[in-house]
Homo-oligomer: A and B are copies of this chain.
Protein backbone atom coordinates (compact mmCIF):
# COMPACT_ATOMS: atom_id res chain seq x y z
CA UNK A 1 0.00 0.00 0.00
CA UNK A 2 1.09 3.61 -0.43
CA UNK A 3 2.67 5.28 2.57
CA UNK A 4 -0.39 7.43 3.00
CA UNK A 5 -2.99 4.73 2.32
CA UNK A 6 -5.78 4.94 4.87
CA UNK A 7 -7.50 2.10 6.75
CA UNK A 8 -10.43 2.09 4.35
CA UNK A 9 -8.18 1.41 1.36
CA UNK A 10 -6.34 -1.38 3.15
CA UNK A 11 -9.66 -2.91 4.16
CA UNK A 12 -10.87 -2.72 0.55
CA UNK A 13 -7.89 -4.73 -0.69
CA UNK A 14 -8.28 -7.29 2.08
CA UNK A 15 -11.96 -7.74 1.22
CA UNK A 16 -11.12 -8.26 -2.45
CA UNK A 17 -8.48 -10.89 -1.67
CA UNK A 18 -10.95 -12.75 0.51
CA UNK A 19 -13.59 -12.58 -2.22
CA UNK A 20 -11.30 -14.41 -4.64
CA UNK A 21 -10.71 -17.12 -2.04
CA UNK A 22 -7.16 -16.25 -1.11
CA UNK A 23 -5.81 -15.47 2.31
CA UNK A 24 -4.74 -11.87 3.05
CA UNK A 25 -2.21 -11.13 5.82
CA UNK A 26 -1.71 -7.42 6.56
CA UNK A 27 1.81 -6.57 7.74
CA UNK A 28 2.19 -3.15 9.35
CA UNK A 29 5.75 -1.93 8.78
CA UNK A 30 7.50 1.21 9.94
CA UNK A 31 6.76 3.18 6.79
CA UNK A 32 3.88 1.40 5.12
CA UNK A 33 1.52 -1.56 5.25
CA UNK A 34 2.01 -4.60 3.05
CA UNK A 35 -0.84 -7.02 2.40
CA UNK A 36 0.67 -10.48 1.88
CA UNK A 37 -1.54 -12.87 -0.07
CA UNK A 38 -1.35 -16.60 0.64
CA UNK A 39 -2.53 -18.97 -2.08
CA UNK A 40 -1.87 -19.30 -5.79
CA UNK A 41 -1.39 -15.72 -6.93
CA UNK A 42 -1.57 -16.80 -10.55
CA UNK A 43 -5.33 -16.76 -9.99
CA UNK A 44 -5.21 -13.05 -9.16
CA UNK A 45 -5.68 -10.31 -11.73
CA UNK A 46 -2.83 -8.22 -10.42
CA UNK A 47 -3.76 -5.23 -12.55
CA UNK A 48 -7.14 -4.92 -10.85
CA UNK A 49 -5.52 -4.76 -7.46
CA UNK A 50 -2.96 -2.28 -8.80
CA UNK A 51 -5.85 -0.06 -9.85
CA UNK A 52 -7.38 0.06 -6.37
CA UNK A 53 -7.04 3.31 -4.42
CA UNK A 54 -4.13 3.37 -1.99
CA UNK A 55 -2.29 0.53 -3.70
CA UNK A 56 1.35 1.31 -4.55
CA UNK A 57 2.37 -1.85 -6.35
CA UNK A 58 1.73 -5.57 -6.59
CA UNK A 59 4.79 -7.81 -6.35
CA UNK A 60 4.52 -11.42 -7.54
CA UNK A 61 6.34 -14.16 -5.65
CA UNK A 62 5.47 -17.13 -7.88
CA UNK A 63 6.43 -17.36 -11.53
CA UNK A 64 3.51 -16.73 -13.90
CA UNK A 65 3.96 -20.01 -15.81
CA UNK A 66 3.13 -23.48 -14.60
CA UNK A 67 3.18 -26.15 -17.31
CA UNK A 68 6.57 -25.09 -18.63
CA UNK A 69 8.04 -24.73 -15.14
CA UNK A 70 10.52 -27.12 -13.56
CA UNK A 71 8.46 -27.03 -10.37
CA UNK A 72 5.60 -28.81 -12.15
CA UNK A 73 7.73 -31.44 -13.87
CA UNK A 74 11.15 -32.36 -12.53
CA UNK A 75 12.53 -34.56 -15.32
CA UNK A 76 13.67 -33.09 -18.63
CA UNK A 77 11.27 -33.21 -21.55
CA UNK A 78 12.63 -35.27 -24.43
CA UNK A 79 10.91 -34.65 -27.77
CA UNK A 80 10.77 -37.64 -30.08
CA UNK A 81 10.69 -36.94 -33.83
CA UNK A 82 10.79 -40.64 -34.73
CA UNK A 83 13.58 -42.77 -36.21
CA UNK A 84 15.67 -42.17 -33.09
CA UNK A 85 15.81 -38.44 -33.64
CA UNK A 86 15.21 -36.69 -30.32
CA UNK A 87 15.56 -33.23 -28.81
CA UNK A 88 16.54 -32.84 -25.18
CA UNK A 89 17.97 -36.34 -24.67
CA UNK A 90 21.60 -37.41 -24.54
CA UNK A 91 22.20 -36.65 -28.18
CA UNK A 92 22.65 -33.06 -29.33
CA UNK A 93 20.22 -31.89 -32.00
CA UNK A 94 21.74 -30.29 -35.07
CA UNK A 95 19.29 -28.47 -37.33
CA UNK A 96 20.86 -27.10 -40.50
CA UNK A 97 19.89 -25.93 -43.96
CA UNK A 98 19.26 -22.87 -46.06
CA UNK A 99 17.32 -19.80 -44.94
CA UNK A 100 14.89 -20.25 -47.84
CA UNK A 101 13.98 -23.25 -50.00
CA UNK A 102 14.82 -21.86 -53.45
CA UNK A 103 14.81 -24.90 -55.74
CA UNK A 104 15.00 -28.69 -55.74
CA UNK A 105 18.66 -28.56 -56.73
CA UNK A 106 19.63 -26.09 -54.00
CA UNK A 107 17.72 -28.10 -51.40
CA UNK A 108 19.27 -31.35 -52.55
CA UNK A 109 22.76 -29.90 -52.31
CA UNK A 110 22.06 -28.48 -48.86
CA UNK A 111 20.50 -31.70 -47.57
CA UNK A 112 23.32 -33.86 -48.81
CA UNK A 113 25.89 -31.58 -47.23
CA UNK A 114 24.31 -31.21 -43.80
CA UNK A 115 23.57 -34.91 -43.61
CA UNK A 116 27.16 -35.75 -44.45
CA UNK A 117 28.39 -33.52 -41.66
CA UNK A 118 26.08 -35.09 -39.08
CA UNK A 119 22.89 -33.03 -38.96
CA UNK A 120 19.67 -34.99 -38.49
CA UNK A 121 17.14 -32.21 -39.03
CA UNK A 122 16.86 -30.15 -42.21
CA UNK A 123 15.74 -26.55 -41.79
CA UNK A 124 14.45 -24.33 -44.59
CA UNK A 125 11.82 -21.63 -45.13
CA UNK A 126 8.97 -21.76 -47.60
CA UNK A 127 7.16 -18.63 -46.46
CA UNK A 128 9.65 -15.84 -45.84
CA UNK A 129 8.68 -12.87 -43.69
CA UNK A 130 10.83 -10.08 -45.08
CA UNK A 131 11.47 -6.65 -43.58
CA UNK A 132 11.40 -5.08 -47.03
CA UNK A 133 8.23 -5.41 -49.12
CA UNK A 134 10.40 -5.71 -52.21
CA UNK A 135 12.15 -9.05 -51.44
CA UNK A 136 11.90 -12.80 -52.25
CA UNK A 137 8.96 -14.27 -50.34
CA UNK A 138 9.42 -18.01 -50.66
CA UNK A 139 8.04 -20.86 -52.75
CA UNK A 140 5.09 -21.66 -50.48
CA UNK A 141 3.63 -25.19 -50.54
CA UNK A 142 5.83 -26.08 -53.50
CA UNK A 143 8.82 -25.38 -51.26
CA UNK A 144 7.41 -27.59 -48.51
CA UNK A 145 7.03 -30.47 -50.94
CA UNK A 146 10.60 -30.10 -52.19
CA UNK A 147 11.78 -30.06 -48.60
CA UNK A 148 9.76 -33.13 -47.66
CA UNK A 149 10.92 -35.21 -50.62
CA UNK A 150 14.55 -34.20 -50.31
CA UNK A 151 14.64 -34.87 -46.58
CA UNK A 152 13.04 -38.26 -47.03
CA UNK A 153 15.68 -39.24 -49.55
CA UNK A 154 18.40 -38.32 -47.07
CA UNK A 155 16.62 -39.71 -44.02
CA UNK A 156 16.42 -36.27 -42.39
CA UNK A 157 13.65 -34.79 -40.27
CA UNK A 158 12.35 -31.35 -41.27
CA UNK A 159 11.55 -28.05 -39.60
CA UNK A 160 10.11 -24.88 -41.16
CA UNK A 161 8.87 -21.55 -39.88
CA UNK A 162 5.19 -20.73 -39.78
CA UNK A 163 4.52 -17.03 -40.35
CA UNK A 164 0.81 -17.04 -41.13
CA UNK A 165 -1.84 -18.68 -38.97
CA UNK A 166 -3.61 -19.80 -42.16
CA UNK A 167 -0.68 -22.07 -43.01
CA UNK A 168 -0.94 -24.42 -40.02
CA UNK A 169 -2.62 -27.16 -41.99
CA UNK A 170 -0.35 -27.16 -45.03
CA UNK A 171 2.79 -27.14 -42.92
CA UNK A 172 1.40 -29.82 -40.63
CA UNK A 173 0.89 -31.97 -43.73
CA UNK A 174 4.43 -31.79 -45.10
CA UNK A 175 6.82 -31.02 -42.26
CA UNK A 176 7.94 -32.75 -39.02
CA UNK A 177 8.30 -29.74 -36.77
CA UNK A 178 6.99 -26.18 -36.63
CA UNK A 179 9.25 -23.26 -35.96
CA UNK A 180 7.64 -20.17 -34.42
CA UNK A 181 9.93 -17.24 -35.20
CA UNK A 182 11.02 -14.43 -32.91
CA UNK A 183 8.49 -12.00 -34.39
CA UNK A 184 5.63 -14.38 -33.57
CA UNK A 185 6.63 -15.38 -30.06
CA UNK A 186 3.72 -13.34 -28.71
CA UNK A 187 1.30 -14.05 -31.56
CA UNK A 188 -0.93 -15.84 -29.10
CA UNK A 189 -3.51 -17.05 -31.59
CA UNK A 190 -0.79 -18.67 -33.66
CA UNK A 191 0.66 -20.28 -30.52
CA UNK A 192 -2.68 -21.83 -29.75
CA UNK A 193 -3.16 -23.14 -33.27
CA UNK A 194 0.18 -24.94 -33.34
CA UNK A 195 -0.53 -26.04 -29.78
CA UNK A 196 -3.60 -27.79 -31.15
CA UNK A 197 -1.57 -29.93 -33.59
CA UNK A 198 0.52 -32.84 -32.40
CA UNK A 199 3.72 -31.73 -34.08
CA UNK A 200 6.69 -30.57 -32.00
CA UNK A 201 7.36 -26.84 -31.98
CA UNK A 202 10.59 -24.87 -31.81
CA UNK A 203 9.67 -21.58 -30.13
CA UNK A 204 12.16 -18.79 -30.69
CA UNK A 205 12.67 -16.06 -28.17
CA UNK A 206 11.36 -12.67 -29.27
CA UNK A 207 13.93 -10.00 -29.98
CA UNK A 208 12.97 -8.10 -26.85
CA UNK A 209 11.30 -10.85 -24.85
CA UNK A 210 12.37 -11.71 -21.33
CA UNK A 211 13.03 -15.30 -20.34
CA UNK A 212 9.82 -15.25 -18.32
CA UNK A 213 7.86 -14.14 -21.36
CA UNK A 214 9.43 -16.94 -23.39
CA UNK A 215 8.28 -19.50 -20.82
CA UNK A 216 4.85 -17.89 -20.74
CA UNK A 217 4.65 -18.16 -24.54
CA UNK A 218 5.45 -21.86 -24.23
CA UNK A 219 2.63 -22.01 -21.71
CA UNK A 220 0.18 -20.78 -24.37
CA UNK A 221 1.16 -23.70 -26.62
CA UNK A 222 1.16 -26.27 -23.85
CA UNK A 223 -2.19 -25.11 -22.49
CA UNK A 224 -3.68 -26.47 -25.73
CA UNK A 225 -2.38 -29.93 -24.97
CA UNK A 226 0.86 -30.06 -26.94
CA UNK A 227 3.79 -30.74 -24.57
CA UNK A 228 6.48 -30.97 -27.26
CA UNK A 229 7.97 -27.51 -27.12
CA UNK A 230 11.66 -26.75 -27.55
CA UNK A 231 12.81 -23.22 -26.74
CA UNK A 232 15.35 -21.32 -28.82
CA UNK A 233 17.75 -18.56 -27.74
CA UNK A 234 18.54 -16.51 -30.86
CA UNK A 235 19.84 -13.27 -29.45
CA UNK A 236 18.11 -10.18 -28.14
CA UNK A 237 18.20 -6.63 -29.38
CA UNK A 238 20.55 -4.33 -27.49
CA UNK A 239 22.52 -1.16 -28.19
CA UNK A 240 25.43 -3.17 -29.63
CA UNK A 241 25.50 -2.99 -33.42
CA UNK A 242 28.64 -5.00 -34.26
CA UNK A 243 26.59 -8.19 -34.11
CA UNK A 244 23.04 -8.46 -35.50
CA UNK A 245 21.69 -9.36 -32.05
CA UNK A 246 23.24 -10.07 -28.67
CA UNK A 247 23.37 -13.81 -28.00
CA UNK A 248 22.47 -14.19 -24.32
CA UNK A 249 23.91 -17.61 -23.53
CA UNK A 250 23.16 -17.42 -19.80
CA UNK A 251 19.61 -18.10 -20.96
CA UNK A 252 20.63 -21.72 -21.47
CA UNK A 253 21.51 -22.73 -17.90
CA UNK A 254 18.82 -20.43 -16.53
CA UNK A 255 16.12 -22.10 -18.63
CA UNK A 256 17.45 -25.45 -17.44
CA UNK A 257 16.81 -24.32 -13.86
CA UNK A 258 13.40 -22.80 -14.46
CA UNK A 259 11.99 -25.26 -16.97
CA UNK A 260 12.05 -28.88 -18.09
CA UNK A 261 11.89 -27.96 -21.78
CA UNK A 262 14.85 -28.44 -24.14
CA UNK A 263 16.69 -25.36 -25.39
CA UNK A 264 18.37 -24.90 -28.76
CA UNK A 265 20.69 -22.03 -29.75
CA UNK A 266 20.64 -20.20 -33.09
CA UNK A 267 24.07 -18.62 -33.58
CA UNK A 268 23.30 -17.60 -37.19
CA UNK A 269 20.58 -15.06 -36.46
CA UNK A 270 22.18 -14.13 -33.15
CA UNK A 271 25.40 -12.90 -34.67
CA UNK A 272 24.73 -12.40 -38.39
CA UNK A 273 28.41 -13.14 -39.05
CA UNK A 274 29.62 -16.51 -40.38
CA UNK A 275 32.96 -16.15 -38.60
CA UNK A 276 31.24 -16.02 -35.19
CA UNK A 277 28.98 -19.04 -35.70
CA UNK A 278 31.64 -21.63 -34.87
CA UNK A 279 32.77 -20.08 -31.57
CA UNK A 280 29.18 -19.43 -30.51
CA UNK A 281 28.12 -22.98 -31.36
CA UNK A 282 30.87 -24.33 -29.16
CA UNK A 283 29.96 -21.91 -26.38
CA UNK A 284 26.30 -22.92 -26.63
CA UNK A 285 27.06 -26.61 -26.21
CA UNK A 286 29.51 -25.88 -23.39
CA UNK A 287 26.77 -23.88 -21.65
CA UNK A 288 24.46 -26.88 -21.76
CA UNK A 289 22.31 -26.28 -24.85
CA UNK A 290 20.51 -29.29 -26.35
CA UNK A 291 21.54 -28.39 -29.87
CA UNK A 292 21.97 -25.68 -32.45
CA UNK A 293 20.13 -24.47 -35.53
CA UNK A 294 22.29 -22.92 -38.24
CA UNK A 295 21.95 -21.66 -41.78
CA UNK A 296 23.91 -23.60 -44.40
CA UNK A 297 23.63 -22.81 -48.10
CA UNK A 298 25.43 -24.60 -50.95
CA UNK A 299 26.38 -21.20 -52.34
CA UNK A 300 25.77 -18.34 -49.87
CA UNK A 301 26.54 -15.66 -52.40
CA UNK A 302 23.60 -16.79 -54.52
CA UNK A 303 21.18 -17.15 -51.59
CA UNK A 304 17.91 -15.30 -52.04
CA UNK A 305 17.68 -14.41 -48.36
CA UNK A 306 20.04 -13.91 -45.41
CA UNK A 307 22.99 -14.58 -47.72
CA UNK A 308 25.37 -12.81 -45.40
CA UNK A 309 24.97 -15.17 -42.47
CA UNK A 310 24.87 -18.54 -44.26
CA UNK A 311 27.69 -21.03 -43.81
CA UNK A 312 29.15 -22.89 -46.76
CA UNK A 313 29.00 -26.70 -46.44
CA UNK A 314 32.76 -26.70 -45.81
CA UNK A 315 32.48 -24.20 -42.96
CA UNK A 316 29.62 -26.19 -41.44
CA UNK A 317 31.62 -29.40 -41.65
CA UNK A 318 34.56 -27.78 -39.95
CA UNK A 319 32.35 -26.48 -37.13
CA UNK A 320 30.85 -29.95 -36.63
CA UNK A 321 34.34 -31.35 -36.19
CA UNK A 322 35.17 -28.70 -33.61
CA UNK A 323 31.93 -29.35 -31.75
CA UNK A 324 32.71 -33.00 -31.15
CA UNK A 325 35.30 -32.58 -28.36
CA UNK A 326 33.11 -29.94 -26.67
CA UNK A 327 30.17 -32.37 -26.73
CA UNK A 328 32.42 -35.02 -25.21
CA UNK A 329 33.57 -32.58 -22.53
CA UNK A 330 29.99 -31.98 -21.37
CA UNK A 331 28.95 -35.60 -21.75
CA UNK A 332 26.67 -35.28 -24.77
CA UNK A 333 26.57 -37.44 -27.89
CA UNK A 334 27.02 -35.89 -31.31
Instruction: List chain A positions with a Cβ less than 8 A from chain B.
Output: 3, 25, 27-32, 34, 36, 38-40, 42, 45-48, 50-52, 59, 61-62, 64, 71, 129-135, 163-166, 183-184, 186-189, 192, 207-208, 210-213, 216, 219-220, 223, 236-243, 246-250, 252-254, 257, 270-271, 273, 275-276, 278-280, 282-288, 300-310, 325-326, 328-330
**CB pair A31 B25 closer than 8 Å:** no
**CB pair A238 B241 closer than 8 Å:** no
- Known contacts: A186-B183, A207-B208. The answer to whether A271 contacts B250 by CB under 8 A is yes
Q: How far is the CA of A34 from the CA of B23 in the complex (A)?
A: 14
**CB pair A208 B237 closer than 8 Å:** yes
**CB pair B132 A216 closer than 8 Å:** yes
Chain B residues near A283: list those with CB within 8 A: 249, 252, 283-284, 286-287
Q: Chain B: which residue is nearest A326 at the CB level?
A: B329
Minimum distance in angstroms from A1 CB to a CB of chain B: 10
**CB pair A241 B243 closer than 8 Å:** no
Chain B residues near A61: list those with CB within 8 A: 29, 32, 34, 59
Chain B residues near A300: list those with CB within 8 A: 51
Give the one of A3, A133, A238, A248 with max B CB within 10 A: A133
Residue in B27, B211, B250 whose beta carbon sits within 8 Å of that of A38 in the complex: B27
Residue in B45, B64, B208, B254 whose beta carbon sits within 8 Å of that of A239 in the complex: B208
Minimum distance in angstroms from A233 CB to a CB of chain B: 11
**CB pair A280 B306 closer than 8 Å:** no
Chain B residues near A250: list those with CB within 8 A: 243, 246-247, 270-271, 276, 279-280
Number of identical protomers: 4
Chain B residues near A64: list those with CB within 8 A: 132
**CB pair A31 B27 closer than 8 Å:** no
**CB pair B254 A276 closer than 8 Å:** yes
**CB pair B246 A238 closer than 8 Å:** yes
**CB pair B47 A280 closer than 8 Å:** no
Chain B residues near A286: list those with CB within 8 A: 279, 282-283, 285-287, 326
**CB pair A302 B253 closer than 8 Å:** no
Q: Chain B: which residue is nearest A40 at the CB level?
A: B30
Q: How far is the CA of A216 from the CA of B129 in the complex (A)?
A: 13
Residue in B27, B42, B135 whose beta carbon sits within 8 Å of that of A134 in the complex: B42
Chain B residues near A223: list those with CB within 8 A: 133-134
**CB pair B308 A51 closer than 8 Å:** yes
**CB pair B188 A130 closer than 8 Å:** yes
Minimum distance in angstroms from A283 CB to a CB of chain B: 4
